[in-house]
A = this chain, B = another copy of it.
Amino acid sequence: MSLSRAHDRIDEALAHTLSARRLAGSPPHLVSAVRHAVFPGGGRVRPLLSLAVARACGMDDPALTLGGAAAVELVHCASLVHDDLPVFDDASERRGRPTVHMLFGQQVALLAGDALIVHAFDAIAEAADRHPARAMAMTRALVAGVGMPSGIIGGQAWESEPRIDREAYQRAKTGALFRAALQMGALSAGAEAAPWALVGDRIGLAYQVADDIHDAVGSGGGKPVGQDERLGRPSAVRELGLAGAVDALRDEVEAAIQAIPACEGRGELVGLLHDVANRLVPESLLPARRAVG
């Protein structure tokens, strides 16, 4: 499956979960806020990975796989809406557009984040008919990626503690949801979750380093440059320098690829990870392309 076809299927699954028919009768501002948070969206990296792992494991229930992929993205969007609130990052823009609370106010933004968490679990449950036990395992994997002790909420909450351990913090804040995405993909195809934990952790670390790089050089388009430094957050660029951080990013992606367990569709998945890695590094920092052959 091409990357753009996979992207389309994920957007279709998200549109289905948040369809006008299903949300009919909701307060209109809440619906608009939720849609603003989810569409048009960013790279959809987590659900793309979830779908790719399911395919690598012999996907046999695409509705369940896509429900899980949508769930991961909904939770990710929820975390962005809450993180952008004045009480956290106080961000007025994301991806070049006003943040949810700038458009709809803090009350609606807080509720929109809550609603996105709730409907993430619904995206799994409503696709569970054929394999309810798999769906329950996916639910638990999602909880591990989002909740306590080491999901993204646990990670975020470390920022309110007097002492932060960079690796534990980043593993939870970013890595946990990648781990969940990969594991949910495997579980949706009836495969074991455990072998995918390490792959997810590595991708999460790569992604966090990439985020630090974007924060330092201002190429992400997501949040304001220097925000992490201003907020006193740990940063790979401050610790390793810019070139060192780019090397660390590449190392993590290679480590992720090495950690992929033996499976039918390994090749397609490795290709996707290379694609993702190339999109993570700002173009200005890429070495000139070498001629192949």
For residue A122, CB closer than 8 A to chain B, the reply is: yes
Do A143 and B114 have beta carbons less than 8 Å apart? no
Which residues of chain B are near A30, meaning CB under 8 Å? Answer: 148, 153-154, 157, 160
Min CB distance A260 to B, Å, is 27
Do B119 and A148 have beta carbons less than 8 Å apart? yes
Listed in ascending order, the chain A residues whose CB lies under 8 Å from chain B are: 22-31, 34, 78, 82, 85, 87-88, 104-108, 110-111, 113-115, 117-119, 121-122, 124-126, 128, 132-133, 135-136, 139-140, 143, 146-151, 153-154, 156-161
- Nearest 7 pairs of A and B residues by beta carbon: A26-B149, A132-B132, A25-B149, A30-B157, A118-B147, A27-B157, A26-B148
Min CB distance A236 to B, Å, is 21
CA distance A238 to B47 in the complex (A): 50
Do A113 and B114 have beta carbons less than 8 Å apart? yes
The residue on B at minimum CB distance from A30 is B157
Q: A119-B143, A136-B135, A139-B125 given as contacts; is B27 within 8 A of A114 (CB)?
A: no
Q: Could you list 9 A-B pairs, sorted by A, with CB under 8 Å?
A: A22-B148, A107-B160, A110-B110, A113-B114, A118-B153, A128-B136, A132-B132, A135-B136, A139-B139
Specify how many copies of this chain sit in the oligomer: 2
Which residues of chain B are near A28, meaning CB under 8 Å? Answer: 161
CA distance A132 to B146 in the complex (A): 21
Min CB distance A135 to B, Å, is 6
Do A29 and B147 have beta carbons less than 8 Å apart? no
CA distance A23 to B148 in the complex (A): 6
Which residues of chain B are near A121, meaning CB under 8 Å? Answer: 121, 139, 143
The residue on B at minimum CB distance from A119 is B147
**Max chain B C-beta neighbours (<10 A), residue from A25, A78, A132:** A132
Which residues of chain B are near A156, meaning CB under 8 Å? Answer: 111
Q: A26-B149, A34-B148, A149-B25 given as contacts; is B159 within 8 A of A143 (CB)?
A: no
Having A87-B110, A125-B143, one finds 6 other A-B pairs with CB under 8 Å, namely A25-B154, A29-B160, A30-B157, A118-B151, A121-B139, A122-B143
CA distance A110 to B83 in the complex (A): 10
In-complex Cβ contact of A27 among B117, B135, B139, B161 (8 A): B161
The residue on B at minimum CB distance from A134 is B132
Which residues of chain B are near A147, meaning CB under 8 Å? Answer: 115, 118-119, 122
